[in-house]
Every structure is written in C-alpha cells, then in structure tokens.
Amino acid sequence: MKAAVLHQYGQELKIENVDLEEPRKGEVRVKMKAAGVCHSDQHVIDLTLPLPVPIILGHEGAGVVDAVGEGVTSVKVGDHVALNWVPSCTKCYYCRTGRPDMCDEAAKISAMGTMLDGTTRFSLNGRKVYQFPLTGTFSEYTVVPESSAIPIREDVPFEYAALVGCCVITGVGAVTNTAKVEPGSTVAVIGSGGVGFNVIQGASLAGAKQIIAIDILDDKLEKTKTFGATHTVNAKEKDPVREVQKLTDGLGVDYAFEVIGRPETMEQAYMMTRKTGQTIVVGVAKPNDKLSINAFSLPFQSKTITGSWLGQGNPAVDYPKLLDLNATGKLQLEPLVSKVYSLDQINVAFEDLKSGKNIRGVIRFE
Ligand code: PAD
Ligand code: ZN
C-alpha cells in the first residue's frame, strides 16, 4: 500500500510501500479518494509544527469506509466520509462545555502523531510510522478513530468533499463561529490561500458589505473577487495597513483575519482593526514566535485579539451543513480546487503550495 512518508524535516516526502494494521476497537479503515494539501502539512516539514518522524502527513481528506473495528456504530463499510483531525474525547472540560475544537485529548495526541491509545497503525519495514493528527491522508488507506470519520452525503465528488475537512470549516467557521461577523460589516483578510479564500466566502455568506483581500500574488487576488472580495491589496506593492485605512475612511475594519502564520502579518491585522473591532488569528506561527503590539493602545482602542482553531467548529455537525450549503449554491467548493495531482506528484504539490500557485491543490487517488 502506497503512502507519502516524511523521513526528515526539510526534505521531500518519499513514496513508500507501508504496512497498515487492521482497525482496532473504535477505529475505522478508510480507502482514501482525495486529500487536500494544506499549509499545516508544510508546517510539519519545516518544523513549525513539531511532530515525530517518519510520519504520513495529510489531514484534509475524504474516502470510503473499508473496514470497521469492534464497537463502531456511526459508520459502516461503504459509507462516504470526510476526515476530522480534531476528534472530540467528549470527556475533557472543553468537550463537556461545548468547545470540542479545544479538546485536551486531541491536542495531546495530535502532537504525538499516534492513535488515541498512543500506538501507531502504520509501519515501514517493521519500524513504526506516525500519522499527522489522527488522519494521515497522503496514503491509499488510513486507520482513524471513529470520531475522525464523519459520514457525508454521497453526491459530492471526493476532491471537493475533502476540503470541508480543513480549509472550509476553518475559514468559514472563523467568520461565523469565532468572529460572528455581522451583516453590513467591514472585513480584511490577510493571506488568500486555501483557508483565506474560505474566510472571504464566509464573510460574504455572513453579509459583510466590504471584504478586502490581501495577498502578494495578483492572479490570486483577482480570483478572490469571485468569492466575494470587494477590494484587493497587493502587500508587495502597497502597505496593507495604510490601504485598509484608506478604504474605510480612516476607521479600520470591524474584523481583520490573519491567515498566513507570521507575526508581522498578525501585527498588520491588529493595526488595521478599528477601535473595539476584532483581530482573528487563524495562521499558525512557529512555537517561539512572539507578537509585538503597542501596550499603550490596549485600553484606549479596546480591540479584541483572538485565535481560531478548526473554525471553532464541530465536524460531526458542520461538515454535513457545509456540504448542504454547497448543494444549495451558497458555498463554492469546486473553484477552490485549482489543481489535481496523483500521490506520486506529492512533492510537486508541495512546491506549488510554497509558491502560492494554487487556491487548493488536491491529491486524487486512483
Ligand atoms: P496557503 O499557503 O494556501 O496560503 C497562504 C497565502 O498567504 C498565499 O496565498 C500567499 O501568497 C499569502 N502570503 C504569503 N505571505 C504574505 C504576505 N506577507 N502578505 C500577504 N499574503 C501573503 O496556506 P493555507 O491557506 O493552507 O494556510 C494558511 C495558514 O492557516 C497556515 O499557517 C496554516 O497552518 C493555518 C491553518 N490554521 C488552521 C486553524 O485551525 N487555525 C487550520 C488550517 C490551516
Ligand atoms: Zn489544514
């Protein structure tokens, strides 16, 4: 069975013939059909997200249930599923109080690269191979906890269904759940990648009157307009903070989203937020990165700065909802997929991600 394995940080993935154990109690084996290439996968390669190697990356994916372990009740063989990289333990403080995105257990296990019981299902020549947060979608088959296999409607092609698993729930949820963007508000989005495009279309869904897309690539900025952006700023050509001030009569925006993962763009997002507005950080920075915000401004400007993880969502509820919104034409999935690759082309897909070529590149399994 073929899988793309990261053996060493900073190096290319290698297509290997790996072994996969049968699903254990409460686990599900999925035959992967499609997997999106997210910048969070690249973050493991460049050590922004520290995880053990060798590891199978990929966390945004969809496929068909191929086998179920003892006690599994929510899915059966043949079901179409989209995978969830933050399975809720249902027992910790956050799961009990309605914030499964903050599940303590999922956070702990994700950093270990194992299944919930701390062991691995993948191996290569007898040596254990880890998997990126309880998913590992860059593999022909994977084994995941039952709560990571979310049943979905069957009329959506897998390459589109895969995207709800990360960039769509993260981007749309940051707008609707975290920021709770109000109709008629003003929004700026720094970073027009797979996640940023979904912040833009989420803001459009929420009825924002002004959506300012910021990126460094003109062709991508042009495409943001078909997702609802009303204005675009190329941050290589113009100072994005000054441009946003100009576009909002000197006020700043009600909501500024950072969707890259760099302290300097997070600072820009804070600076372009109006007094009492919200700055929402979605991008993942390096573990030791620090933000520099003018402390004096805090009481006088009373802005809120917050993070957003998994769009503060609940995949079991939100994936079906997002796919229904797509079916009724309210949410676009098809134009997010700007290129399809085979698993053998995985390193090309990562090169294209780094150069910002795609909205989303997707691996399709034959
Ligand atoms: P991506 O690589 O598809 O998009 C990043 C975009 O930022 C590209 O279009 C770049 O051109 C653009 N960019 C780069 N530098 C600048 C700059 N200085 N100014 C303006 N634009 C710039 O990434 P993605 O959308 O897959 O992921 C974005 C981040 O979100 C990344 O840090 C990822 O790890 C994080 C993420 N967070 C969550 C979450 O739950 N919070 C989930 C998924 C991804
Ligand atoms: Zn992701």
Which tens digits make up the pLDDT trace of 158-174? 999 999 999 999 999 99
pLDDT band at 308 (very low <50, low <70, confident <90, very high): very high
Check residue 133 and give its pLDDT: 87
| Gap from CA of 169 to ligand 1 centroid (Å) | 15
Domains and CATH numbers, the chain: 2-156+333-364 (3.90.180.10), 171-308 (3.40.50.720)
Mean pLDDT of the chain: 97
- The reply to whether 355 belongs to the active site is no
3-state helix, strand, coil in the chain (%, to 5): 35, 25, 40
Which ligand neighbours the alpha carbon of 198 most closely? 1
Query: Quick check: CB of 215 below 6 Å from ligand 1?
Result: yes
Give me the sign of the Cα torsion angle 264, 177, 115, 93.
Answer: positive
For residues 36 and 164, what is the distance between their CA atoms, to the nearest angstrom?
Answer: 10
Residue with CA at minimum distance from ligand 1 atom 31: 283
Question: Residue 182 above 90 pLDDT?
Answer: yes
Question: Residue 176 above 90 pLDDT?
Answer: yes
Give the pLDDT confidence of 229-242 residue by residue, as tens digits.
999 999 999 999 99
Check residue 232 and give its pLDDT: 98
For residues 89 and 69, what is the distance between their CA atoms, to the nearest angstrom?
Answer: 18
- The reply to whether 89 belongs to the active site is no
Check residue 266 and give its pLDDT: 98
pLDDT band at 152 (very low <50, low <70, confident <90, very high): very high
Question: Residue 72 above 90 pLDDT?
Answer: yes
Residue with CA at minimum distance from ligand 1 atom 11: 356
For residues 216 and 237, what is the distance between their CA atoms, to the nearest angstrom?
Answer: 8
Residue with CA at minimum distance from ligand 1 atom 12: 191
- The reply to whether 40 belongs to the active site is yes
Query: Quick check: CB of 216 below 6 Å from ligand 1?
Result: yes
Give the pLDDT confidence of 261-307 residue by residue, as tens digits.
999 999 999 999 999 999 999 999 999 999 999 999 999 999 999 99
Residue with CA at minimum distance from ligand 1 atom 7: 191
- The reply to whether 103 belongs to the active site is no
- The reply to whether 38 belongs to the active site is yes
Instruction: List CB contacts of 336: < 8 A, sequence separation 6 or more.
Output: 160, 163, 167, 168, 194, 197, 198, 359, 360
Check residue 78 and give its pLDDT: 98
Query: Quick check: CB of 259 below 6 Å from ligand 1?
Result: yes
Question: Residue 254 above 90 pLDDT?
Answer: yes
| Gap from CA of 125 to ligand 1 centroid (Å) | 35
Distances (CA, A) of 333 to 122, 159, 190, 198, 212: 31, 9, 20, 9, 21
| Gap from CA of 155 to ligand 1 centroid (Å) | 29
Check residue 366 and give its pLDDT: 83
Question: Residue 252 above 90 pLDDT?
Answer: yes
Give the pLDDT confidence of 85-117 residue by residue, as tens digits.
998 889 999 999 999 999 999 999 999 999 999
Check residue 25 and give its pLDDT: 97
Query: Quick check: CB of 113 below 6 Å from ligand 1?
Result: no
**Rounded average pLDDT over 315-342:** 97
Q: Are 284 and 306 in contact (CB under 8 A)?
A: no
Check residue 273 and give its pLDDT: 98
Q: Which of 363, 360, 341 lies closest to 193 in space, CA to CA?
A: 360
CB atoms within 10 A of CB 59: 26
The atom of ligand 1 lying closest to the CA of 49 is: 34
| Gap from CA of 108 to ligand 1 centroid (Å) | 24
State which amino acid sits at residue 175. Answer: V
